[in-house]
Amino acid sequence: MGFKLLSLYLFLAILALSYLFVHSFVRGRSQHAKLLGILSLTLQVYLLGYLVELNATSLDAMIFWNQIQYFGIPFFPALWFAVSAVYTGRPQWIQGWRGLLVISVPVLTFVIRLTNDFHHWYYASMTLVFLGDYTAMYLIKGPWYLVQMAYVLITLVACTRFYALRYRKAEGNERMQFSLLLWASILPYVALVLVFINFGDLGIDYTALILPPCILLINHALTKYNFLEIKEMARERVFEDNRIGYLLLSKQLKVVDMNPLGKQLLKQLEANNPSIHEWILDDAKHLIKLEKHNKTVSISSQAIENSGYLVSIEDVSEREAILNRLEHLANIDALTQLNNRRSFFEQANQIFEHADRYHEPLACLMIDIDHFKDVNDHHGHEAGDTVLKSLAETMKQCFRSSDVIARMGGEEFAVLLRMSEMDAAHLIAERLRVTVEKESIQHNELNLHITISLGLAVRNVHEDLESVLRRADKALYEAKAAGRNQVRRAQ
């Protein structure tokens, strides 16, 4: 009667685990759901082999079905460990060399059990025992069986520790969840003890009896509180699929986790050799240009209390391009591609402040095209535009990159020359005048010639910008009144 009840229990457990496999592995989306599904599948194989072994009547049949069980038995401790590691946020324990270490003992156990007839390392002997009307297989454990038992114990202790650490920090429903997971990880210890001492001397595998309710308890804990899918869906939507790259760093600044975009951008940043410490030691946002990848990224970080840092990396290339374009449109004259009036005043004021601080000389030129109205009247506004663009290109070639050249409006231009006294500035202005006078400007089939008039003022000590411009502008009108095509110095 007892063996019939045991067989019925195992059969129902197999059905329950089959449902769990479909629910977790086939329908589940999270990594730990998939792992739980594989764990339930290995237990199905184990229980099915044990069920048939219990109902077999010959030693050969029992040995065969005992071997079938080892397509599942060696691997459930590793999978049990993997579920707990992933669910408690420690996936690194099943990655890299640690993952190889975790799976190595199960693989060796699988091979050693299937080749046991040649060395008897796993079972020293396997004999039949008669228990009333039933027969069972009596197993004498070999040395590798003890290794496998020790491995199972180590993985159980690790799982228990993972769940206990999370239980201590959890609150509310999550605390209840981890209390159930703790119970599920503690019960297998009882099975290990019963198997090791061969309780009752009945040849019963108590692990097969205790594991099914433990697995169902884990599934209940994960699904009742809906954390199994909700946490993974939230991660997928908020973390994995985000258009911002995220890096989770430990307090030692080691990368613990990252989303796909974060991984991609981190690789590109490392190629650019920025120091990761600079990202997180202050609360400021950092803009880093990745010349090799032709993009700009924004990096900011947020400290996580007692844990580490969350670093966000955002590709802002498109946004920066738009901002640069808007800034260009706001500061650059569309026709000549010189600074406009607004930009000239903005830069000039900064240069004046710098000159005051370091006692640097400054000079200002006001420039006007002579008889420009005649060009427009006789040849059209397109010809006038060509003249303006040609003069702008000539000025770019005549002045230094540190000088500020601007179109102030119409045919009037201004130039602020840094580190320039009167005589040096006059030579530069005269060179520009002569160059413009000699140039021939092509417009369609026309060869146009123009001249310019220039007013030059050198800044007096602590003189403001408006005053310097007034004096340069006055000198310009003096040049035009004196016959044009000349440079006049301001008094």
**How do residues 312-338 score in pLDDT, each as one tens digit?**
888 888 887 888 788 878 899 999 999
What's the pLDDT tens digit per position in 157-182?
Answer: 999 898 888 888 877 777 888 888 88
**Does residue 310 carry a pLDDT above 50?**
yes
Q: 369 forms bridges with which residues in the sheet?
A: 452
**Which two structure tokens, joined as six digits, stand for 282?**
């202050």
Q: CA nearest 448: which of 389, 366, 367?
A: 389
> Which residue numbers are catalytic?
411
Tens of pLDDT, residue by residue over 44-62, are: 888 888 888 888 888 889 8
Mean pLDDT of 431-440: 96
Integer CA distances (angstroms), 31 to 163, 170, 181, 239, 260, in order: 17, 21, 17, 15, 16
Nearest to 293 by CA among 312, 274, 314, 271: 271
Per-residue pLDDT band for 227 (boundaries 50, 70, 90) equals: very low
Residue 97 has pLDDT above 60, yes or no: yes
Delineate the domains of the chain, giving CATH numbers in brackets: 2-234 (1.20.1070), 242-316 (3.40.1840), 332-489 (3.30.70.270)
Q: Which residue has the tokens 């039949």?
A: 128
**What dihedral angle (degrees, nearest 10) is formed by the CA atoms of 477, 483, 484, 489?**
-50
The rounded Cα 373 to chain-centroid distance in angstroms is 59
In angstroms, rounded to a whole number, what is the distance separating the alpha carbons of residues 297 and 246? 12
Q: Average per-residue pLDDT in the chain?
A: 84
More confident residue, 113 or 297: 113
Give the pTM: 0.49
